[in-house]
Amino acid sequence: CFHSSQELLAKKINDEAVGFKSPKRKKYVKKESRTQPPVDTPYVPPKKNTNIMPDRTINIFEGMTISELAKRTGQSIPFIQDILVNVGEKVGSEFDLVSIDVAELVAMEVGVNVKRLHSNEGAALEPRPPVVTVMGHVDHGKTSLLDALRQTSVAAKEAGGITQHIGAFIVDMPSGASITFLDTPGHAAFSAMRARGAAVTDIVVLVVAADDGVMPQTLEAMSHAKAANVPIVVAINKCDKPAANPERVRIQLGSEGLPLEEMGGDVQVVEVSATTKIGLDKLEEALLLQAELMDLKARVDGSAQAYVVEARLDRGRGPLVTAIVKAGTLICGQHVVVGAEWGRIRAIRDTLGKVKDKALPSMPFEIEGLRGLPMAGDDIIVVESEGRARMLSEGRKKKLDQDRLKKIDEGRIEIPDESEEKPVRVEFPIIVKADVQGTVQAVTDALITLNSPQVYVNVVHVGAGTISQHDVDLAQACGACIVGFNIRSPPSSVTQSANRANVKIKLHRVIYHLLEDLGNLIVDKAPGTMETQVAGEAQILSIFELKGRSKAKGEDMKIAGCRVIDGCVNKVATMRLLRSGEVLFEGSCKSLKREKQDVDTVAKGNECGLAINECNDFQIGDIIQCLEKVNRKPKFISSESGAVRIEC
């Protein structure tokens, strides 16, 4: 009560007079304990309480027992046995073994996530080529370097320099060794794949332009590689330029904590030029040396464990997936589950487009025969039959839907705020279209980082390919904005129809520009929060009392003779009376005059007479603050590391 304003105190007294009281706790009543099971009650499976373990992930592996599975999922053995019967498995004792696919089906039914553990126990391990990703700051030459390296690849040599873009390529060295390069430069793709558990990259090539030096995204790439525990080989690019200063780059990298070889560390540095192709051989040698140190080996026999690098839809051939086998061998004709999709492998093609009957570890290849389009980073698992493939795919789709709904619900939950103004959250629906599925995922993930307590970024539809009339119709129906990344402009008929429907289309090729553009749109759309701010301050210099006024004119009143010492005082605003920094009263302005003239505002430096409704407790030296309500919009913030967010 001590800090309460008079108005609040008055309200409290009123509430009590009306009879509002805080609810009393009910008496604790002990529940009736039952000693006998209920009779004639059909069996009801125990309720799964997903709220208790919202995002639990358990490890599963080939050949775990039913009792082990029950323990890991936190369910009873009979409950697990019931699920097993439902998925068509024979159930014997609790020590019976279940296959890894069945274990996943059970876990999905229980509502927990799984991580598949693959054992290489007893299997022969053979050396495999390294898988390399190129990262670095925008315009430092990642794409140019990949292009230059691709031209040294087998595919380019055999196809006369023309290579099919399938998301990865192999460079063969004279020694017979080879290197696999992932063809999607950029950090978003790397982190999207890593987020889905697809740790396919063995080495990161950090490209730094010799004429520009270490930049925000260079540092970001370094931290991505560090977080993924992936070694770095530095390629100082553009060394052909007169302004090139590789020494400066070395010093900068060293001071950022990268242990370079020259400084006694283990990170190799190679000077290259993607334009003149100088140093490319040295870079390839450095990568092989790094791979040798890592002693990269993989199991070749047994069923494959692979990951999707890129997926696209071909009009004639259906979904085409570029993938890399991590271990085992993928054989044409096998039934596979890829993420939430499934299919039977109709054809395997290598980077030259040659049909192969199998794919070995670290080899990029393209597969045909899937029923739907998976996403970059999805795992490819081989299953025993079409029935099992269908079942797992359906289960995974259901789980994805549940997770998506849960995410939307979580996103929609308003943060309970006890303060006077509750933030309103509006929805910003977006449709994402990009060149390939991997980019779609990366762009979607990046856009979701723009979520804020005021604007909920809802990606309502995604797809690979150009923007179609269907996208415009959907955008119109749900008031969405269409984002096109790395795709051609839509046909003019589609653009016109979007204009007519007032649907915004945003086309970009650089992720940072896209995020900035969308970030500003989001800020515009945000409702903002109403905040009280001090518009002006006046100090009381003298006090006048108006006495003996008639009843018709009103009661006696005190007028504070003030000087405005900061900002300006507005008649319509709320006034706050402060004494020695402590708030004494808050109320509306009764009168504001300058030399007997009624005025609306008084600016800094001027004197005025001010009366506050129901306040007569003025003292000389008191401060009267003029409070006004402002709508504060969120801000789009982009940090030095290239990360963006909306600050509310």
Chain residues in the site for ligand GDP (CB under 6 A): 136, 138-144, 185, 237-238, 240-241, 273-275
Minimum gap (Å) between residue 136 Cβ and ligand GDP? 6
How far is 333 from 345, CA to CA, in rounded Å? 5
Helix (H, G, I), strand (E, B), or coil: what is residue 477?
Answer: helix
**Which residue number has the CB closest to ligand GDP?**
141
Helix (H, G, I), strand (E, B), or coil: what is residue 466?
Answer: coil
Choice between 178 and 273, CB closer to ligand GDP: 273
Report how far Cα 395 is from the mean position of its chain's Cα atoms: 24
Q: Which run of H or E residues covers position 252?
A: helix 246-255
Tokens of 113: 């996530």
Asked whether the beta carbons of 190 and 135 are under 8 A apart, the reply is: yes
How far is 132 from 181, CA to CA, in rounded Å? 5
According to DSSP, the β-strands at 178-182 and 131-136 are parallel
Closest CA to 454 of 426, 412, 491: 426
How far is 81 from 96, CA to CA, in rounded Å? 11
The CA radius of gyration of the chain, in Å to the nearest whole number, is: 34
How far is 436 from 590, CA to CA, in rounded Å? 66
Choice between 56 and 277, CB closer to ligand GDP: 277
Choice between 138 and 424, CB closer to ligand GDP: 138
Minimum gap (Å) between residue 147 Cβ and ligand GDP? 7
Minimum gap (Å) between residue 140 Cβ and ligand GDP? 5
Choice between 144 and 449, CB closer to ligand GDP: 144
Closest CA to 130 of 225, 227, 231: 231
Choice between 82 and 240, CB closer to ligand GDP: 240
Tokens of 44: 């009801």
Tokens of 159: 């196809």
How far is 130 from 178, CA to CA, in rounded Å? 8
How far is 472 from 534, CA to CA, in rounded Å? 46
Choice between 133 and 237, CB closer to ligand GDP: 237
Minimum gap (Å) between residue 137 Cβ and ligand GDP? 7
DSSP string spanning 201-263? -SEEEEEEETTT-S-HHHHHHHHHHHHTT--EEEEEE-TTSTT--HHHHHHHHHHTT--BGGG
Minimum gap (Å) between residue 60 Cβ and ligand GDP? 40
Tokens of 123: 């299997």
How far is 349 from 238, CA to CA, in rounded Å? 35
Tokens of 122: 């007893």
Minimum gap (Å) between residue 275 Cβ and ligand GDP? 4
Minimum gap (Å) between residue 423 Cβ and ligand GDP? 38
Give the E-state strand segments of 263-340 in sequence order.
269-271, 297-299, 305-314, 318-327, 330-331, 335-338
Choice between 224 and 326, CB closer to ligand GDP: 224
Minimum gap (Å) between residue 307 Cβ and ligand GDP? 23
Minimum gap (Å) between residue 133 Cβ and ligand GDP? 13
Report DSSP state, residue 150: H
Residue type, 408: I
Minimum gap (Å) between residue 173 Cβ and ligand GDP? 21
Choice between 148 and 383, CB closer to ligand GDP: 148
Choice between 342 and 485, CB closer to ligand GDP: 485
Closest CA to 455 of 430, 426, 433: 426
Q: What is the phi-psi region of residue 460: left when phi exceeds 0, alpha when psi lies from -120 to 50, beta otherwise? A: alpha
Choice between 185 and 634, CB closer to ligand GDP: 185
Residues in the chain: 648
Asked whether the beta carbons of 354 and 347 are under 8 A apart, the reply is: no
Neighbouring C-beta atoms of residue 424, cutoff 10 Å: 14
CB-based contacts of 315, cutoff 8 Å, min separation 6: none
φ, ψ of residue 608 to 5 degrees: the values are -155, 165
Helix (H, G, I), strand (E, B), or coil: what is residue 608?
Answer: strand
Minimum gap (Å) between residue 403 Cβ and ligand GDP? 33
Minimum gap (Å) between residue 201 Cβ and ligand GDP? 17
How far is 43 from 27, CA to CA, in rounded Å? 34
Minimum gap (Å) between residue 575 Cβ and ligand GDP? 57
Minimum gap (Å) between residue 166 Cβ and ligand GDP? 18
Choice between 238 and 388, CB closer to ligand GDP: 238
Choice between 246 and 609, CB closer to ligand GDP: 246
Tokens of 577: 């009376």
Choice between 136 and 484, CB closer to ligand GDP: 136
Choice between 185 and 519, CB closer to ligand GDP: 185
Choice between 62 and 240, CB closer to ligand GDP: 240
Minimum gap (Å) between residue 487 Cβ and ligand GDP? 17
Asked whether the beta carbons of 533 and 632 are under 8 A apart, the reply is: no
Choice between 50 and 144, CB closer to ligand GDP: 144
Q: Angle, nearest 10°, between helix axes 100-110 and 77-86?
A: 110
Minimum gap (Å) between residue 148 Cβ and ligand GDP? 8
